[in-house]
Structure formats: structure tokens, C-alpha cells
Amino acid sequence: MNARADTDITAVLDRFQEAGKIARFWLRDDDAIDPTPALDRLLDLTDAHGVPVALAVIPEPTGEALVERLENAPLASVTVHGWRHANHAIEPFKKRELGADRPIDVVLAELSLGFGKLSALHGSRFQPVLVPPWNRIDTALLPSLSRLGFRAFSVYGPEKPAALPMINTHVDVMDWHGTRGCRDRDTLRREIVSRLNVCLETDGCLGLLTHHLVHDEAVWAFLGHLFEATGSHPACRWVGLPDLVGDMPPPEE
């Protein structure tokens, strides 16, 4: 049985090939702290398919153990995932660490600590990109991030004009408000096709969001099938976060 047009990833990749274009995917995985069996599984899977992965690392609790594990993960990069992934929101607001609930200088000081710690630990593997916990950040913080050294930030959803460049994710594999496992596979494929159609017109990329610590078997299976299907298509390329940062204009002095 043929796949429906709105869920057929190969068909839209064929359209990229016909147009002489390359569909770019990138992978962001959140909440890394220490080596775990789940992290090993993610790194083994991505390495087997040649897929670079940007790990959003929580700075405060992480340390040398993750550094040592990533020495054998050449396709992994590291970004700043807030400071300690702590919720400071006051009810009824949604969870957030980087909100207007605390003085701005306190929040920026934590981000500066996180930037310094991860850059010192991970060296050239480190990428100056902020990944706000829960994908939420108060816009008043954005103009100050560049002076801390950040080149971009990454949340969830379509990119839009902001005080700092955005390198976003667009498809989340997790059903956070339902089963807390893998989302419906056809829904995921439909969202991927929809985003790729946008990229075909805009030359943007598709960001896939994962959380290795909470994946069920259905998520791992979906990722394996997606990596296999896209990796074998000549009009598709999985790119690393360093490539996306390198494509941005240099920061203004």
C-alpha cells in the first residue's frame, strides 16, 4: 500500500532531488547530564547512521563523566540547557527557568556560569547555543545573551525574528500530554513532510527534538526507521549544530 502524500517522507525528498536541492535535518536531544544506558543507546544509534546529535546539557549537575563518555562520540556536540533545569514559574504560568520570575541579572549570571562550565569541560565540542528548559525564555533576556558569548538560541516551533538568531526544532517525538511515549507515527511523518515542504521553499532545515532519558521502544524504533530512510536518500543530509552555527553571519562587534 502506498503511503499517503501527506505522510510520505520519501516522496517529498524526491521533490528536493528534482529541484536540485538538499533537505537538511538536524537532531537536538535534551536533558543530558551523565552517561546512562539511554544515552549510550542514543549515541550508538546516531553513530550507526552517521547522524550528528546536539546534546542540550544541564550545566550545574554535569561533570567529567559526560566528557569522558563523549570522547568516543565524534558526532556529538554540546549546548547549554539553562543552568539546573529548575522551574521558577509562579502558578498559573507554565514551567520555565528563564522567565521574568527572577531578577534578570540573576538569570544571566546563571547562564554565564553554565556557558563557562560547559565550554571549559567540552572544548571544541561545545557550541555557543542556548537551549531554554521547556523551550521557554523571556524575550527581555535575549538582547543580553550575545555579550555572554551565545551565538544563537534554540526552542520549539518555526523561527521568527528575535534579538538573537534562532536554530529551532520543529518536530517533537514525545507525546508529553498523553501517553508520554512516542507520538502517533503517522502524525510525526505528517509533521515532517509539512516542515520539509516549507524548507523546499525557504531553504530552511528540519529540527527533530528527542529526550533520550524518557524514550519508549516505539520512539527508538521510529528513530531507527527515520534515520535509515533519510540516510539512504541522495537529497537528504543530517547536519551537525556546528554546521548550522557556522552558516550564521559572524557576531557584530
Average of per-residue pLDDT values in the chain: 95
Q: Is the pLDDT of residue 7 over 60?
A: yes
Higher pLDDT, 2 or 84: 84
- The model's confidence at residue 250, banded by pLDDT at 50, 70 and 90, is confident
- The model's confidence at residue 3, banded by pLDDT at 50, 70 and 90, is low
Residues 208-240 have pLDDT tens digits of: 999 999 999 999 999 999 999 999 999 999 999
pLDDT on residue 1: 35
Residues 163-204 have pLDDT tens digits of: 999 999 999 999 999 999 999 999 999 999 999 999 999 999
3-state secondary structure the chain: CCCCHHHCHHHHHHHHHHCCCCEEEEEEEEEECCCCHHHHHHHHHHHHHCCCEEEEECCCCCCHHHHHHHCCCCCEEEEECCCCCCCCCCCCCCCCCECCCCCHHHHHHHHHHHHHHHHHHHHHHEEEEECCHHHCECHHHHHHHHHHCCCEECCECCCCCCCCCECCECEECECCCCCCCECCHHHHHHHHHHHHHHHHHHCCCEEEEECHHHCCHHHHHHHHHHHHHHHCCCCEEECCHHHHHHCCCCCCC
pLDDT on residue 253: 53
Residues 99-148 have pLDDT tens digits of: 999 999 999 999 999 999 999 999 999 999 999 999 999 999 999 999 99
Evaluate whether the domain defined by 5-246 bears CATH number 3.30.930.10. Answer: no
Three cell numbers, residue 62: 554535569
pLDDT on residue 249: 77
